[in-house]
A and B are shown apart, each in its own frame.
Chain A
Amino acid sequence: MSFTPEIQPIAPRPPSTGVIARMVQITKVYGRGDTAVAALTDASLEIHAGEVTLIEGPSGSGKTTLISVLGLLLTPTAGEVWLEDRNVAGLGERALPALRARNFGFVFQGFNLFPALTALENVAIAIRMKDPRATDVNRTARRLLDQVGLADRAHHLPADLSGGQKQRVAIARALGGDPPILIGDEPTAALDTKTALAVMELLRELATAARRAVVVVTHDPRLERFADRVVRVDDGRIAAITTARPTAPRSPT
């Protein structure tokens, strides 16, 4: 495998057709006074459509806080989050669910599927939750499962699925509503190597085929070959952003 790293400047630039979200000098402080902890300090990041962005760093470095702010799950203490051509960082709690529903899908390490629901129902419930007025929900859910290669497992419960299959169901669920940004928090950490690489390959396909931005937090450097950019976070700051142009074969050997 070979790839050519390239250091890119972080300075803000005018919105382009490729940038679908921007974080500008984000600071997040937990607690107050003597117990205050700065989880993020002056972090700036652009998210590009059609790209896979990996976020790496040691435990406690601020990776999860970074994607939580990006995904509008946390309100920053300072800074701006640009989405849909406006700064949404200061929006109240009432406006955020709709924004998240329109713009983000989330994939988690632990899958977080309802054990009582089949694969199809897990995807369908997310579609309904995002848009209570959605029609043909089951058909849309089937299409999403087909997209991740699990159409034949639609009526299986999570307990009957392998780890990789569960994560694919979770990815299908995250695609409900066709969000432009997928955020994964260690989506491969609970999977074996072969399965993990297959899941990353799926995420890469979803990024390139649909011009979707995929942001993945990971500890695993082996996943860098699937990334267009690698963001290194250290001690609450973005230490480096490297551009990687992967040339490795798509299927793991």
Chain B
Amino acid sequence: MWTLARKLLLHDRLRFAVAITGVSVSVMLVLVQVGLYYGFMDTAASLIDASHADLWVGKKGNDSFEFASPFDERAYYKVASVAGVARAERLLVNFAQFKLPDGGDLGVQMIGVETTRGRRALLEPWNVVAGDPHRLAEPGAVVLDRTEYDKLKIDRIGHATEITGVRAELVALTDGIRSFTTSPIVFADLRSARSYLPQLGPDAVTFVLVEVQPGLDPAVVQARINALPHLAAYTRREMSLRTRAYWSDRTGVGAGFFTTAVLGVIVGFVVVGQILYSGTLQYIREYGTLKAMGARNRAVISVILSQAMISAVLGFAVGAPLAIAMRAAMRAANLNVALFPALYLATAAITAIMCMFAALLSIIKVLRLDPASVFKG
């Protein structure tokens, strides 16, 4: 049946090209839209995912990473003294004003990390492509992402400016660390960050990052910390999911991207369905002849389903590379399209199902076909 299906499909090359185009556009839309969604979510949770902390501790009731409320540093000491905590580090997160060369200001997201020479911090800049990140421990040292060059109007390592009126010097550049908000991320040592965020007070902390003692179940330590008043502890994965859910639900970005992806599936469904149906109508007498000669319905249906599957496979084979090309193009615009094996598999499955359903109308037509009709001239 594959031979018949393939030849029927290829016999009208223009129609075949339209079918493959429809499926490949659908595949590309699904991959890019869902990839954009996951890319945005990865961006939103990137700082959390890149941390080495087993637990994130914040003020109870915080929904997101960017807009978390600070709390008093005394809570940090309480957390640090909980049994099972091997290491605790303070993290300060808030928005500050970055002075531009032309005198203007730009809002940036300040990330104040506890740096200790000779020891990896539980959160520190990664993907460093220039400069010396170890200098972050120096007063006034900051690390930025090079994709923010244009926005911040900086041009070199050593560039000096002010943040909220306090001197800041660029000591290293990363590549690919971006915030879900439009504000560039700026890393600084905790002490420097406190000087850039005077509105929070000298003892403010936004999160406490916890490393659990080796061999101990983080959930046990988590429960102990949750017993402390006004604090909530989350595993790194839980914190990441909370942040993703915040941006997905509160902004509607999830609904937006998935709606477009669904529209892509509908486009593919309509195009393939129309092509298969017109093809079935074109060969209806031939199908009727086969039925008259004793072909069972399932044999004729298999020809139509085979055409649908060929369209699905070839459409995916064209659409997936298109999505990869789109990802490369969007990367130039600093948009992250996350394409991963499970997404490819899911899209392939959706494409196959879409094409099979698109064949439904043709299958119904053939099932209802009266073989005696071929005698009617």
- Listed in ascending order, the chain A residues whose CB lies under 8 Å from chain B are 64, 67-68, 71, 73-74, 97-102, 104-106, 108-110, 112-117, 121, 125-126, 128-130, 132, 173-174, 176-177, 185-186
Contacts and interface: CB of A to CB of B under 8 A. Distances in A.
Contacts of B294: 97-102, 104, 129-130, 177
B295 A129 contact: yes
Given A64-B376, A68-B375, A73-B371, A125 B290 contact: yes
Contacts of A117: 3-4, 7
22 contacts: A64-B376, A68-B372, A71-B292, A73-B371, A73-B375, A100-B292, A100-B293, A101-B295, A106-B293, A108-B289, A108-B374, A108-B375, A110-B377, A113-B286, A117-B7, A121-B3, A126-B293, A128-B1, A130-B294, A174-B293, A177-B294, A186-B377
Contacts of A73: 292, 370-372, 375
A100 B375 CA distance: 15
Interface of B: 1, 3-4, 7-8, 10-11, 283, 285-286, 288-296, 299-300, 370-372, 374-377
Given A73-B292, A108-B289, A116 B7 contact: yes
Given A114-B8, A114-B283, A115-B11, A64 B375 contact: yes
Nearest to B283: A114
B293 A116 contact: no
Nearest to A176: B293
B4 A125 contact: yes
A74 B376 CA distance: 13
Nearest to B11: A116
Nearest to B7: A116
A174 B290 CA distance: 10
A64 B377 CA distance: 10
Nearest to B6: A116
A129 B293 contact: yes
Contacts of A112: 285-286, 288-289, 374
A116 B8 CA distance: 6
Given A97-B294, A114-B283, A132-B299, A106 B289 contact: yes
A68 B288 CA distance: 13
Contacts, number: 85
Contacts of B283: 114
B146 to A, nearest CB: 56
Closest 5 A/B residue pairs (Cβ): A101-B294, A116-B11, A129-B295, A73-B372, A100-B294
A184 B255 CA distance: 60
A66 to B, nearest CB: 10
Contacts of A125: 3-4, 290
A33 B3 CA distance: 47
Question: For B11, B285, B375, which residue has the most chain A Cβ atoms within 10 angstroms?
Answer: B375
Contacts of B4: 114, 117, 121, 125
Given A73-B375, A125-B4, A130 B295 contact: yes
Contact of B293 (A64, A67, A104, A113): A104
A214 to B, nearest CB: 16
Given A64-B376, A68-B372, A116-B7, A126 B290 contact: yes
Contact of A129 (B290, B374, B377): B290
B299 A105 contact: no
Contacts of A129: 290, 293-296, 299-300
A191 to B, nearest CB: 15
A64 B295 CA distance: 21
Contacts of A174: 293
Nearest to B291: A97
Nearest to A129: B295
Contacts of B293: 100-101, 104-106, 126, 129-130, 173-174, 176
A70 to B, nearest CB: 11
Contacts of A99: 294
Contacts of A115: 11
Contacts of A126: 290, 293
A170 B99 CA distance: 85
Given A114-B4, A125-B3, 10 more contacts: A64-B376, A99-B294, A101-B295, A112-B285, A113-B286, A116-B7, A126-B290, A128-B299, A129-B294, A186-B377
A216 to B, nearest CB: 13
A185 B376 CA distance: 9
Contacts of B376: 64
A73, A74, A130 pick with most chain B CB within 10 angstroms: A73
A99 B8 CA distance: 28
Nearest to A125: B4
